[in-house]
């Protein structure tokens, strides 16, 4: 048994924050941000709008696109770094809100790779017969853990959510998945505090990143993943129709596309309008490419992500 994608959806909060808005907050410029990252604007959740709010809109869109009843969903896996609460997990919050019946609901927390991890977990449940129709979501309110005085990170991130509905099928679907992690790099990209390690008095938990060092490991790791996918699946140049990468930085995406020998016209890019939305970036890019008609049934897709931890993962999918 395999899993295939039967519906996708996305949701972006209404408020748009441009690079020019950020020029008023920190010592930066639209020119620097665009040249170094490819980002022009990002969406920011409204006050009181939570990760599960964004996730529920994206999930409804995906369920509608799949043309199935919410009650037929038999597993929920949410990738997120910014859950509403310590618990219940965002999967349970979605279950209640979307009217999905009793079924396993969990979240995975592997930063920017969370969606690939979530997709792989759901796919494995389908392959072993434990689930037939999982809902997989990547959703983030990164704005909540941004230090808005740190120009090295606050210009990079945005909020959003993307979702896919998988269905059991006799043919893939998800052909190949690969996951990895290396905790020795934890200090290059992390948060300064959390729950059992609380923030120093009165402060909020904030993301920290040594961007330049992350950049180098990200490119190296993503190139290694490209080589692995090509080798293990005997792929030839031109076999992959669409590259749907995590959207952290246009320069990282371009380096990976070069290794893949795929032209940039075959890469789904949303980084300019969304910034880095962590777990949400891949499902939102996937939904963008599907809804605007570029990605068609039968196309071969490569999804790849790299993030804090470090964690990474890839998925080769016949859409």
- Per CB under 6 A, residues contacting ligand UT7 are 28, 32, 36-37, 112, 151-152, 155, 211-212, 214-215, 218, 248-249, 252, 276, 306-307
Could you tell me which residues come within 8 angstroms of residue 10 by beta carbon, excluding any fewer than 6 positions away?
A: 58, 61, 160, 161, 162, 163, 280, 283, 284, 287, 288
* Look-up of token digits 């040249």: 35
Beta bridge partners of 44: 15
Please say if 234 is a catalytic residue. Answer: no
Nearest distance from residue 65's CB to ligand UT7, in Å? 27
Q: Which residue, 107 or 114, has its beta carbon nearer to ligand UT7?
A: 114
* Look-up of token digits 């924050």: 17
- Nearest partner of 273 among 16, 14, 10, judged by Cα: 16
Nearest distance from residue 116's CB to ligand UT7, in Å? 12
Task: Answer yes or no: are the C-beta atoms of 217 and 185 closer than 8 Å.
Answer: yes
The active-site residue, picked from 19, 61, 249, 276, is 276
Q: Which residue, 65 or 286, has its beta carbon nearer to ligand UT7?
A: 286
Please say if 274 is a catalytic residue. Answer: no
Helices (runs of H) and strands (runs of E) counted in the chain: 10, 13
Q: What residue is closest to ligand UT7 based on CB? A: 211
The active-site residue, picked from 112, 154, 249, 274, is 112
Q: Which residue, 151 or 294, has its beta carbon nearer to ligand UT7?
A: 151
**Residue 238: Cβ within 10 Å count:** 10
Could you tell me which residues come within 8 angstroms of residue 233 by beta carbon, excluding any fewer than 6 positions away?
A: 175, 176, 316
Q: Where are the alpha helices (DSSP H) in 99-177?
A: 114-127, 151-154
Please say if 212 is a catalytic residue. Answer: no
CA end-to-end span of the chain = 16
Q: Tell me which long-range contacts 290-297 makes (C-beta under 8 A, separation of at least 24).
A: 290/8, 290/319, 291/8, 294/242, 294/268, 295/241, 295/242, 295/268, 295/319
Q: How far apart are CA 58 and CA 60, in angstroms?
A: 6
Nearest distance from residue 22's CB to ligand UT7, in Å? 8
Angle of CA points 138, 3, 83, to nearest 5°: 20
The active-site residue, picked from 57, 92, 154, 246, is 246
Q: Which residue, 131 or 218, has its beta carbon nearer to ligand UT7?
A: 218
Q: Which residue, 215 or 242, has its beta carbon nearer to ligand UT7?
A: 215
Nearest distance from residue 255's CB to ligand UT7, in Å? 11
Helix (H) or strand (E) holding 93: helix 90-98
Nearest distance from residue 79's CB to ligand UT7, in Å? 13
Nearest distance from residue 218's CB to ligand UT7, in Å? 4
Q: Which residue, 28 or 124, has its beta carbon nearer to ligand UT7?
A: 28
Q: Where are the alpha helices (DSSP H) in 200-249?
A: 211-232
Which residues are catalytic, by number? 112, 246, 276
């Amino acid at each position: 048994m395999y899993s295939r994608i039967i519906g996708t959806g996305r949701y972006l909060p209404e408020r748009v924050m441009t690079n020019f808005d950020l020029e008023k907050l920190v010592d930066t410029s639209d020119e620097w941000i665009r040249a170094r990252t490819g980002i022009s604007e990002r969406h920011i959740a409204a006050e009181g709008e939570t990760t599960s709010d964004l996730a529920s809109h994206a999930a409804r869109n995906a369920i509608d696109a799949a043309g199935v009843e919410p009650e037929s969903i038999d597993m929920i896996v949410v990738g997120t770094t910014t859950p509403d609460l310590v618990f219940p997990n965002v999967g349970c919050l979605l279950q209640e809100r979307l009217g999905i019946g009793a079924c396993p609901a969990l979240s995975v927390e592997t930063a920017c790779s969370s969606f690939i991890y979530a997709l792989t977990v759901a796919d494995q449940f389908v392959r072993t017969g434990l689930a037939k129709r999982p809902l997989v979501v990547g959703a983030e309110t990164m704005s909540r853990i941004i230090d808005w005085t740190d120009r090295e990170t606050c210009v990079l991130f945005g909020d959003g959510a993307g979702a896919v509905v998988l269905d059991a099928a006799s043919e893939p679907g998800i052909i190949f998945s690969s996951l990895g992690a290396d905790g020795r790099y934890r200090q290059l990209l992390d948060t300064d505090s959390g729950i059992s390690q609380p923030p120093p008095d009165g402060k909020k938990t904030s993301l920290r990143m040594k961007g330049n060092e992350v950049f180098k490991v990200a490119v190296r790791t993503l190139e290694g993943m490209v080589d692995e996918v090509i080798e293990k699946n005997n792929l030839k140049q031109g076999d992959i129709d669409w590259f749907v990468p995590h959207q952290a930085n246009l320069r990282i995406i371009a380096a990976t596309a070069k290794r893949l020998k795929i032209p940039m016209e075959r890469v789904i890019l949303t980084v300019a309008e969304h910034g880095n939305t962590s777990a949400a970036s891949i499902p939102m890019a996937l939904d963008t490419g599907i809804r605007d008609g570029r990605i068609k049934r039968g196309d071969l897709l490569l999804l790849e992500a790299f993030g804090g931890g470090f964690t990474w993962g890839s998925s080769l999918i016949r859409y």
